[in-house]
A and B are shown apart, each in its own frame.
Chain A
Amino acid sequence: MSEPAENSTLGRRHRVRLAVAGWHLTLGTLCALTAFPLLWAVLTSLKPANEVFTTTPLSAHPTLDNYADVLTRWPAGELIGRTAVMATGVAVGQLVIAVLAAFALAYFRPGARPLVLGLTTVSLAIPPQALIVPQFLLTARLGWLDTEAGLIVPQLGSSALAVLVLLQHVEALPPSLIAAARLEGARPAELLWHVVLPGLRPAVAALGVLVFITTWNEYLWPLLVTPDALHTTVQVGLAQFETAEGINYGGLLAAATLTSLPIVLVYLAASRRITDAFLTSGLR
C-alpha cells in the first residue's frame, strides 16, 4: 500500500474517532444536566433538616430520618397504590382504545376516516386545562369525585397520540400478512388478535410505558377529583410537605425519591421487553 493512501485512511480514522468523541461528549453533557437535579434531590433527602440549604453535596451526617418520617407519617403505600391503579387503568384504557381505533381506521377504512383523523389530530392541540372545568362538572354530576373511575375515565380522552402512533404501525404491517390471514378465513377480530396485535407489540409496549409515566406524574386532574391529601395520588400527596410553617424539603425529597421508584421499575422491566420485541419482529 502506498504512503499517501495510508495517511488518508489514518486521517479518516482520526476524523471518525473525533466525531464519536464529540458525540459522546454531547450525550454525556445532556445526561449530566438531566441527572444532576435528580442526584441533588436524592442527596438532599439524606441530609438532616439543618443541612438542607448547604451547598455541599454530601451531608456531614447522612441520615435516613427523612425516609423513616415519610414512611411512618405519610400514607406512602396507599398513595402509591392509588397512583398505580390510576396509571395502569389509564395506560391499559388508552391502549385498548388506540388499538381498536387504529385497526378499525386502517382495516375498514370507514368513510368518516378523514374526519376522525382530523378531529383526533386537532384534539392534540387543545390544552387539557381548557377542558378542565366542563370535565370536572361532568365528573362531579356522575358522582365520580374521589373514585377510581373519576381518576381514570376522563384521562382516557387524551388517547389521540396513542391512536395516531398505532395507526402508523398498523399501516406499516405488510399488506400480504393481512391478506394471508383473510384467506385463511380469519374474521376481523381474529385478524386483530392473531396477526395485527403481535405485530404491534413493540409499539404497544413503548406507548404503554409512556402513558403510564405521564399519568403517574399527572397533578392537576387528581388534585381536582381527589382533593383529600391522604386519599389521593402521590403527586398531590407530595403537596402535604408544604405546610403553614414552610416546606419540609427533606421529607418532600425523600417522598419524591420513594415514589419515583415504581416508575424506574416499570421502565426497567418494559425497556427490556421493548428491545426484545424489536429484535424478534421482522417478516422475511
Chain B
Amino acid sequence: MTALLPSASRPSDRTPAPPHVELAGVTRTFGTTLALAGVDLAVPAGSLTVIVGPSGCGKSTILRMIAGLDAPDSGTLRIAGDDVTARAAGERDVAMVFQDYALFPHMTVEGNISFGLRLQARHHRRSGPGRDEIRARVGEVCALLGLDNLLHRRPAQLSGGQRQRVALARAIVRRPALLLLDEPLSALDPQLRASARAEIRRLHRELGTTLVLVTHDQHEALSMATHLIVMDQGTVAQSGNPGELYRHPCNELVATFLGTPRMNLHDRDGVRIGWRPADGRSATHRDGVPPGAFLVDGVVESCEFTGDGQHARCAGPDGTFVLVQREGESWLEPGDTARVTVPAARLHRFGPDGRRLP
C-alpha cells in the first residue's frame, strides 16, 4: 500500500489534462472591502478540489462566481476552455449544493430532484428529456443516494442528512460537468459528517465529475481533496496536492492552517522554525541530540487525553509548543520538564516575511 498519503499516484495529478476551471486575475470588491484581490487558480479536470481558508478569505465568493451567481469586477473565468465570465448562471453546465441546501419547500423530494430536468424538457421540446427518462434518472440518483423511500416527502419532513442527500441528488441528476459544494457538511452533526465525507468521495469516484468544495475546516479539506487550494485574504496562498501542502507549506499561514494541533513555531537567529506536534520526540537529558536535530525545552502546562495518545501543552524559553505523545511513548504530566528533539528532515523554516526558506 503506497496510498496512505495522497501522492502523485492520484489520476488527477498523473494526467496533465487542461484545467476544468480557470480563474485569471479575478478581483471583486463589496463596498469598500476587497473580497478577491487578483485570484489565479486552476481546478484540474476530474479532481475533487477543495478550497479552504479562514472565514472572509473569499472562498465562497469564488464558488458563487464559478456558478455565475456573482460576477468578477475584473479578470476572466474559463470553464472547459471557454470564457464564461459573462455567461449567465444556468448556462454553464454547473450544479451547486448550497450550505442551507435550498430545497424548494413546497415540492416533494421527487419534485425537487426533477425540477431542473422538467425545466430542460420544457425549454427543449425535442432534445430535452422525456417523461420516462426523467423518471428513470430520478430513480437512478435516488438509488445511488438511498432516497428511494422518501420520494413523496417534503423537505420539512426530512432529517438534516436526508436533506443533504436530496440536495446532492438534485445537483447530480442533470449530470453536470462541474459540481460545486458550498460548506456541504457544516449543517450536519459530527457523527453524520464522517459518513457524508465518505459519501461525497464515493460520488466523486463513481461520477467522474469535477467537484469543487468550499470549507473552512482544514481537516475536511485534507481528508477529501485530491487538489487543495488554501486561500487567505482574497488571494490563493498555495495550491496543489494535499500531502505536498501539508509537508511543504509555502508560508506560515498554510503551515499553521493545515494540521491539528497546529504547527509549533519558534524564533531562532532571525528565522522561524516550525515543527508539527507529532514530529517531536520527547527525550531525556541523558540522550544525545542527533546531528542537525532541533532541540526545544519546556515545562508541561496541561495535557489532553485523546484516546490513542495525549497532547501536551508546554512552555519554555522558546515560547509555548504542543507535543503529541502516542500510546507507548512516555506519558507526560503537568509540571514535567519536556525536552523535545525534532529530526532535521521534519523542520520547516520561514523567513521574516513568512515565506518558506529553502
Contact = CB atoms under 8 A, between A and B. Distances in A.
B227 interface: no
A282 B156 contact: yes
A180 interface: yes
Interface in A16-66: none
Given A182-B89, A183-B96, A177 B104 contact: yes
A284 interface: yes
Interface residues of A, number: 23
Interface in B217-231: none
Given A176-B98, A177-B102, A284-B163, A183 B119 contact: no
B67 to A, nearest CB: 6
Interface residues of B, number: 32
Contacts of A176: 98-100, 102
A122 interface: no
A198 interface: yes
Contacts of B94: 183
A116 interface: no
A192 B156 CA distance: 22
A199 B105 contact: yes
B115 A184 contact: yes
A283 B155 contact: yes
A246 interface: no
Given A174-B102, A176-B102, A283-B105, A185 B119 contact: yes
Contact of A185 (B96, B103, B105, B116): B116
Interface string B54-68: 000000000010011
B105 A179 contact: no
Contacts of B163: 284
A180 B89 contact: no
Contact of B116 (A177, A184, A281, A282): A184
B106 A280 contact: yes
Nearest to B94: A183
A201 B106 CA distance: 10
Given A194-B115, A283-B155, A185 B104 contact: no
A199 B102 CA distance: 13
A187 B120 CA distance: 11
B90 A281 contact: no
Contacts of B116: 184-185
B90 A180 contact: no
Contacts of A184: 90, 95, 115-116, 119, 170, 174
Q: Which of A182, A184, A195 lies at the interface centre, i.e. has the most chain B CB atoms within 10 A of its CB?
A: A184
Contacts of B156: 280, 282
Contacts of B154: 280
Nearest to A179: B69
B101 interface: yes
B100 A182 contact: no
Interface in A177-211: 177, 179-187, 190, 194-195, 198-199, 201
A202 to B, nearest CB: 11
B104 A183 contact: no
Contacts of B286: none
B268 interface: no
Q: Which of A179, A186, A187, A194 lies at the interface centre, i.e. has the most chain B CB atoms within 10 A of its CB?
A: A179
Contacts of A195: 104
B101 A179 contact: no
Nearest to B64: A179
Nearest to A277: B106
A184 to B, nearest CB: 4
B105 A281 contact: yes
B123 interface: yes
B104 A194 contact: yes
Contacts of B88: 182
B148 to A, nearest CB: 22
A195 B170 CA distance: 15
Contact of B95 (A183, A194, A280): A183
Contact of B100 (A174, A187, A190): A174
Interface in A228-284: 280-284
Nearest to B111: A194
A182 B106 contact: no
A201 B104 CA distance: 14
A182 B170 CA distance: 13
Contacts of B98: 176, 179-180
A181 B116 CA distance: 8
A281 B106 CA distance: 7
B106 A180 contact: no
Nearest to A184: B116
Nearest to A201: B106
Contacts of A284: 100-101, 155, 163
Given A182-B69, A284-B100, 7 more contacts: A174-B100, A177-B104, A180-B98, A183-B96, A194-B104, A281-B105, A284-B101
16 contacts: A176-B98, A179-B67, A180-B96, A180-B98, A182-B68, A183-B67, A183-B94, A184-B170, A185-B123, A186-B90, A187-B123, A198-B105, A199-B105, A280-B106, A282-B156, A283-B102
Interface of B: 64, 67-69, 88-91, 94-96, 98-106, 115-116, 119-120, 122-123, 154-156, 163, 170, 174
